[in-house]
């Protein structure tokens, strides 16, 4: 079944004077899809969101919403509602009036306003707060009001610009669940969400768009990006703690490839790519949770513990392995009785090992 298109971005570029910050973005977003933009600070994700909203001009390229080119359509006419991290509520207005304000400006009748505000308040569990001022609400409640103000407009597209960044940890979890419920309630509304938080991206997104330096590095479902990163940047950006990487070389290619690390450790990994990689400098990647403890005789790697983080449900071991400039991080389930200065031996299943060529491109993608 073909997914209807909610938004299409064709070769979108943005420049401030001679400085180009977006270098040709091509992306199709399905109708009703929840897309999350992630990437390091300065990668262009918020700029791209603001261009979709009409708050930033498009330098070149074309933006389509449900098939219509909106490059020259004013923001208010695009059928878009945006939720900011700062809430942007009117402090002198009640919750009800904040949510109803845009509809009053649009000359909607009182019955329609009442129906939409009541429906949105029920959805967001704000019914008991409709006649309070924003100053009487918690941060999470204020953010829900901002979301409710967007809902009542019946937008074609929701845009979220880091909406949970001002909330504490407990409120972030609660509000994230509410946004997930909102996603399920508004199945035909396309949502685009910008965040630095990987948990938000992994739990909310239908697909994640990873951006770096104004370009798209990879687009895929959360599990696709986690399990099959297209390149070294995505591999290290997705996942927390970050993927461990170290240099190695290929000694033999075929059904398996024998990898030799800098310290002389050798092990086999499967190769599913037809690329020729014999005698090539490679980068090996292993996620912290994919290591297992091993005996010295059967290990792939070893390292001396330099720091232990016992978190209850997991234990993080930071190791000096001489395989990498950065300490290797091992994530083991439960409480592990290991101590600083102890040497441990590790192995990983071949299918859990990632391999990248000299240009950082995955050989197993």
Q: pLDDT higher for 244 or 255?
A: 244
Q: For the domain bounded by 5-237, which CATH number is listed?
A: 3.40.50.300
Locus of tokens 């592990």? 336
Residue 189, pLDDT > 50, answer yes
Q: Of 7-11, 12-16, 175-179, 273-277, where does mean pLDDT reach its minimum?
A: 273-277
| pLDDT category of residue 275 using cuts at 50, 70 and 90 | low
| pLDDT category of residue 2 using cuts at 50, 70 and 90 | very low
Q: Of 87-101, 126-140, 162-176, where does mean pLDDT reach its minimum?
A: 162-176
In a 10 Å sphere around its CB, with 0-12 CB exposed, 13-18 middle and 19+ buried, how is residue 64 labelled? middle
Q: Where are the domains of the chain?
A: 5-237, 244-356
Q: Of 37-51, 112-126, 146-160, 347-361, where does mean pLDDT reach its minimum?
A: 347-361
Looking at domain 244-356, its CATH class is mainly beta
Residue 4, pLDDT > 80, answer no
| Number of CB atoms found within 10 A of residue 59's CB | 14
Task: Please tell me the predicted confidence (pLDDT) of residue 86.
Answer: 81
pTM over 0.85: yes
Q: What are the strands, taking DSSP E only, across the chain?
A: 5-16, 19-30, 34-38, 60-65, 68-69, 80-83, 157-161, 190-194, 207-212, 215-220, 244-252, 256-261, 266-270, 281-286, 292-293, 301-310, 314-320, 328-333, 343-347, 353-356
Both structure tokens of 262: 């800098």
Residue 250, pLDDT > 90, answer no
């Amino acid at each position: 079944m073909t997914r209807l298109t909610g938004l299409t971005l064709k070769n979108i570029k943005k420049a401030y004077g001679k400085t180009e910050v977006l270098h040709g973005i091509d992306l199709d977003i399905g109708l009703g899809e929840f897309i999350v933009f992630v990437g390091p600070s300065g990668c262009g994700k918020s700029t791209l969101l603001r261009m979709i909203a009409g708050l930033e001009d498009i330098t070149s390229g074309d933006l389509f919403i449900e098939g219509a080119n909106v490059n020259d359509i004013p923001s208010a006419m695009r059928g878009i509602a945006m939720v900011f991290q700062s809430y942007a509520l009117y402090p002198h207005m009640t919750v009800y009036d904040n949510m109803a304000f845009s509809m009053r400006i649009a000359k909607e009748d009182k019955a329609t306003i009442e129906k939409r505000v009541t429906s949105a308040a029920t959805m967001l569990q704000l019914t008991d707060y409709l006649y309070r001022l924003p100053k009487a609400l918690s941060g999470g409640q204020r953010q829900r009001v901002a979301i409710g103000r967007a809902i009542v407009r019946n937008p074609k597209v929701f845009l979220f610009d880091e909406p949970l960044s001002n909330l504490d940890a407990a409120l972030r979890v609660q509000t994230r669940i509410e946004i997930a419920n909102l996603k399920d309630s508004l199945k035909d509304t396309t949502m685009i969400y910008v965040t630095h938080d990987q948990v938000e991206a992994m739990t909310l997104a239908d697909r994640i768009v990873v951006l770096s330096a104004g370009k798209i590095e990879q687009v895929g479902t959360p599990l696709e990006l986690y399990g099959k990163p297209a390149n070294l940047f995505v591999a290290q950006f997705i996942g927390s703690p970050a993927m461990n990487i170290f240099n190695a070389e290929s000694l033999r290619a075929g059904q398996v490839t024998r990898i030799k690390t800098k310290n002389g450790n050798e092990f086999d990994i499967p190769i599913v790519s037809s690329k020729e990689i014999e005698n090539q400098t490679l980068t090996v990647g292993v996620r912290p949770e994919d290591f297992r403890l091993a005996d010295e005789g059967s290990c792939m790697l070893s390292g001396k513990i330099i720091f232990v983080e016992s978190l209850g449900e997991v234990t993080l071991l930071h190791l000096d392995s001489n395989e990498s400039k950065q300490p290797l991080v091992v994530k083991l389930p439960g409480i592990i009785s290991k101590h600083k200065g102890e040497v441990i031996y590790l192995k990983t299943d071949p299918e859990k090992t990632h391999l990248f060529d000299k240009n950082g491109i995955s050989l197993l993608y």
